[in-house]
Amino acid sequence: NWNWTHRDPDYLPPEIDTTKPSIARVYDAFLGGKDNFAVDRAVATEGMRHFPDRGEGARNNRAMLFRGVKYMAEQGIDQFLDIGSGLPTMDNTHSVAQRINPAAKVVYVDNDPIVLAHARAILQTDERTRVITADLREPEVILDHPEVDGFLDFSRPIGLLLVAVVHHLADAEDPNGLVDTYKARLAPGSYMQLTHFCSCAPEMRELEAVLLQMLGTGRARDMPEIVRFFDGLDLVEPGVVHVPEWRPEEPVSHPLDLGGVCVAGGIGRKA
Ligand code: SAM
């Protein structure tokens, strides 16, 4: 029974290991959330010691996620596949999309069981939202999953979200090949939003070293490597940029600080 919010507050499903940091919980700690444990906060604290952005990078990424979802919904996208969705925070893909189109459907996918545990409790009343535990590195499992293929219509355009997740793939895991596999399944008119740790600032190498050592994952890649993930798609203006520069709704001050340059991304459309 995953409905652990109604149980003893100290109860944790056995799948949730609080002795090892988890990507979703460390990200939550960077965002200033409450769904994390001491072991996760230790990674965030050490990360911020080397990369003192006060969590701005994570917040800028999350803000661009929502501007991107809003943009796609305004273009008529009414179904989203959000892979590496993370813990549900104050705002979420489905609420942003459904503000534009109340009929919009969203499937959340994450390989961390804590995401399903939290999301089920919050989303169980929303009929247009599904949550599954699955791994980005197994595209067939995700794309052929009954909650994905049976719920979203792959013959029509989809908004694919790979936001701050591909940097958790090592080079040896063939991130380009994996992203290409997902793009190949999309119908014409679909969009892909992707953001990624960017190695633009030298301090990013220090953050990368902390994450690789303490969390075992977190690769920074350079702009050409990030642009490469969009091969075969038409980039929506302004292209692949540092996330605060992607269609900002408020003026952006320059030069960008650490929290501004650490993540880059964009949206591409399949012709
Ligand atoms: N997309 C959200 C955002 O940008 O706000 C969350 C990003 S968070 C940095 C990365 C998420 O990807 C975490 O929740 C983590 O559990 C998930 N993740 C990492 N590797 C994954 C994989 N191989 N398959 C599925 N999810 C993964």
Pocket test for ligand 1, best of 25, 26, 108, 110 (most atoms within 8 A of CB): 110
- Stretches where the chain sits below pLDDT 70 are 1-11, 122, 124
36 is a domain residue: no
Amino acid symbol at 61? N
118 is a domain residue: yes
Q: Is 35 in the pocket of ligand 1 (CB under 6 A)?
A: no
HSE on the CB side for 4, CA within 13 Å? 16
Question: Sign of the CA dihedral 71, 75, 77, 78?
Answer: positive
100 is a domain residue: yes
Q: Is 62 in the pocket of ligand 1 (CB under 6 A)?
A: yes
Predicted local distance difference test score (pLDDT) of residue 181: 98
Predicted local distance difference test score (pLDDT) of residue 2: 43
Cα(79)–Cα(46) distance, integer angstroms: 38
Predicted local distance difference test score (pLDDT) of residue 71: 98
Structure-derived torsion over alpha carbons of residues 19, 23, 24, 26, reported in degrees to the nearest 10: 70
Pocket test for ligand 1, best of 35, 115, 168, 193 (most atoms within 8 A of CB): 168
Q: Which residue has its alpha carbon closest to ligand 1 atom 5? A: 62
Which DSSP letter does residue 246 get?
S
Per-residue b/e over 161-197, b at no fewer than 16 CB within 10 Å? Answer: bbbbbbbbbeeeeebeebbeebbebbeeebbbbbbbb
Ligand 1 center to 62 CA (angstroms): 12
How does pLDDT run across 180-197, given as a tens digit for each residue? 999 999 999 999 999 999
Predicted local distance difference test score (pLDDT) of residue 237: 98
Q: Is 112 in the pocket of ligand 1 (CB under 6 A)?
A: yes
Closest Cα to residue 89, out of 123, 113, 57? 123
Q: Is 65 in the pocket of ligand 1 (CB under 6 A)?
A: yes
260 is a domain residue: yes
247 is a domain residue: yes
12 is a domain residue: no
The residues pairing with 131 across neighbouring beta strands, listed in sequence order, are 108
Instruction: Give the domain range for residue 171.
Output: 56-201+225-269
Beta strands in 38-136 (DSSP E): 79-83, 105-110, 129-133
CB 268 within 8 Å of CB 235:
yes
Into how many domains does the chain fold? 1
Closest Cα to residue 26, out of 226, 259, 218? 218
Cα(106)–Cα(104) distance, integer angstroms: 7
Q: Is the ipTM of this complex over 0.90?
A: yes
Nearest-atom index, ligand 1, CA of 58: 5
Task: Report the CATH number at residue 103.
Answer: 3.40.50.150
CA 224 to chain centre: 20
Phi and psi of 41, rounded to 5°?
-65, -30
Which DSSP letter does residue 236 get?
P
CB 180 within 8 Å of CB 166:
no
197 is a domain residue: yes
CA 186 to chain centre: 18
17 is a domain residue: no
Predicted local distance difference test score (pLDDT) of residue 88: 85
Pocket test for ligand 1, best of 165, 167, 196 (most atoms within 8 A of CB): 165
